A and B are shown apart, each in its own frame.
Chain A
Amino acid sequence: MTERITRDHVAHVADLARLTLSDAELDAFTGQLADVLDHAADLEALDLTDVLPTAHPLPLVNVFRADEPGPTSDRDEVLAAAPAVEEEQFRVPPVLGEEP
């Protein structure tokens, strides 16, 4: 199978997932993730060349909603849940970088 997951992989993935790991956590998680992925190596035994992927257990298609406006949220209730609010908007610290 693919090469074993490394500490660098785990650090990169933590970064993608917006998590910070201590050195000890990095070590522990690297081992634990490797265990799970090693278990997934049993899939190597299967011939999957002509098998189509299943993303979803239901055979449903074309589930639509009519284009009719419905109720909107109460803004005060929505903003009351927010950690920081200003001018009826969600306030966040400065954003570094444009939308990717």
Chain B
Amino acid sequence: MSARGLAAAVRSGERSARSVVDEHLETIRSGEPEIHAFNLVLADEALAAADEVDRRVAAGEDPGPLAGVPVALKDNLCTRGVPTTCSSRILEGWLPPYDATVVERLAAAGAVVVGKTNLDEFAMGSSTENSAFGVTHNPLDPTRVPGGSSGGSAAAVAAGFAPLALGSDTGGSIRQPAALCGVVGVKPTYGAVSRYGLVAFASSLDQIGPLTRTVSDAAMLLEAIGGHDPRDSTSIPEPAASLTEVLDRGVEGLRIGVIEELSGNGLEGIADDVRSRLGEAASVLDTAGATVETTSVPSTVYGLSAYYVIAPAEASSNLARYDGVRYGLRIDAPNTGDMNTATRTAGFGNEVKRRIMLGTYALSAGYYDAYYGKSQKVRTLIVQDFARAYEEFDLLLCPTAPTTAFPIGEKTADPMTMYLNDVCTIPSNLAGHPAMSVPFGVGDDGMPVGVQILAPAMGEPTMFQAAAVLESAGSRS
């Protein structure tokens, strides 16, 4: 059942929140050992929160738009008094003394947190294989990855552990696992959702967003968590956009461009089946009344190179604070400098170390201009190219990921091969634009394919209109 349906049933008193939560906890108990979506399941806390929702319903109080709906949180979102690990040894045992803004807003909306989901350590990865606490398996085929870095959240939704989950997306970490697990994943406009309480990976790129089974549930969840937050200086000073009310508006008259550079013809590695589904999605939108054309956004192909300088650069600084002084892991040594080094060496996994070093190098004396400085300029070009494209088009279309879910272990040996997974999702992060992945059919291997809809900043309503059209066509096919 959708989150929308569950919330309606709880709000009307037709079902108790406790029964809804109980049912999902039962699904988790049976499915979790194989999937390993969670770092931590919060069964007792969830039942207590459900009881509180039921009390409010009984007392005639408004229990909130997401009353009693189970939600899974990526384990890089701070939860007061509840371990928040980022799937890293270095934060093992840390209890944040505060809730992230999105966690407060979920509680205010009546949603019930059922657990903290697994991720690539500090959200660095595309397969959830870089977790210190084990790999998450794709519920549709447990020999395959769920994508990443929000692989635990995507798997939790796909496995029916929770109808709603939150992830974070720095270069595709919501959209790519959503595509690989066959769920809806949204990266909102940069600044649309507060980052307060999201453990930072790359601050100028990170955004929190929904992973859900339906487009409508994603709209509801985004409405609940979005809107201005004075604790985040980069929060857009506007209330959350209304999305649920635009879902039935269709795409009649919308102009939609298919990005040539990211759709296979110019780019290596986009699988034929993915390309075919994209073509079919374009036809569906065309049939529904949109004007669909191929268009060029040339600098998007440089996004990957710029991203793998900018994101590690910011990360190298954001992750400096894990030094063994104030919280988390400490490996003792005779002096503080050696203690810092011993702690970080033992506490971080290889992918995190790799990116910290890449970023440190890109910022270091003598290399800043060649790498970081240049990448920031490429970012400007991408913003400019998108601006030109959006003069002609309301939305843009491309694949979410180059392939369907790949087997566990296939790409771990070669980081660059793994990084290429993000080629279609990165440009939106660099530009700060919203983008979402909608499941659209399956590949030759029977695994789901995601189609990505891109919109200009604050263009979520139009993006969701198109997503709703693709979803209904997808469910008929």
Partner of B344, one of A18, A25, A60, A83: A18
A57 to B376 alpha-carbon distance, docked (Å): 11
B390 at the interface (CB under 8 A from A): no
Most chain A beta-carbon contacts within 10 A, residue among B204, B320, B377: B377
Partner of B357, one of A10, A54, A60: A10
A83 touches B370 (CB 8 A): no
Partner of B416, one of A39, A53, A93: A39
A29 to B358 alpha-carbon distance, docked (Å): 9
Q: Which residues of B contact A96 (CB under 8 A)?
A: 335-337
Partner of A54, one of B340, B380, B433: B380
Q: Which residues of A contact B376 (CB under 8 A)?
A: 53-55
A10 to B362 alpha-carbon distance, docked (Å): 11
A39 to B230 alpha-carbon distance, docked (Å): 39
A46 touches B344 (CB 8 A): no
Q: Which residues of A contact B432 (CB under 8 A)?
A: 56-58
On whether A43 and B305 interact (CB within 8 A), knowing A18-B337, A93-B339, the answer reads yes
Partner of B348, one of A2, A19, A29, A90: A19
Q: Which residue of chain A has its CB nearest to the CB of B366?
A: A2
- Majority secondary structure of chain A interface residues (helix, strand, loop or mixed): loop
**Could you say which interface size class chain B belongs to?**
35 or more
Residues of A within 8 A of B (CB): 1-2, 5, 9-10, 12-14, 16-21, 25, 29, 32-33, 35-37, 39-43, 46, 48, 51-58, 60, 63, 65, 73-74, 77-78, 80-84, 90, 92-97
6 tightest A-B CB contacts, nearest first: A57-B432, A53-B376, A83-B330, A81-B327, A54-B379, A40-B305
Residues of B within 8 A of A (CB): 94-95, 97, 190-191, 204, 230, 233-234, 236-237, 299, 301-302, 304-306, 308-309, 316, 320, 323-330, 332-342, 344-345, 348, 350, 353-354, 356-358, 360-361, 364, 367, 370-371, 373-381, 383, 414-416, 419, 430-433, 457
Could you jot down 18 A-B contacts, CB within 8 Å?
A: A2-B367, A19-B341, A35-B414, A35-B416, A40-B306, A46-B381, A48-B377, A51-B381, A54-B377, A57-B204, A58-B432, A63-B234, A73-B97, A83-B324, A90-B325, A92-B339, A93-B332, A93-B333
**Additional pairs, 10, CB under 8 Å, beyond known A2-B370, A35-B415, A93-B334:** A19-B348, A20-B342, A33-B357, A35-B414, A37-B371, A42-B305, A48-B377, A53-B379, A82-B326, A95-B335
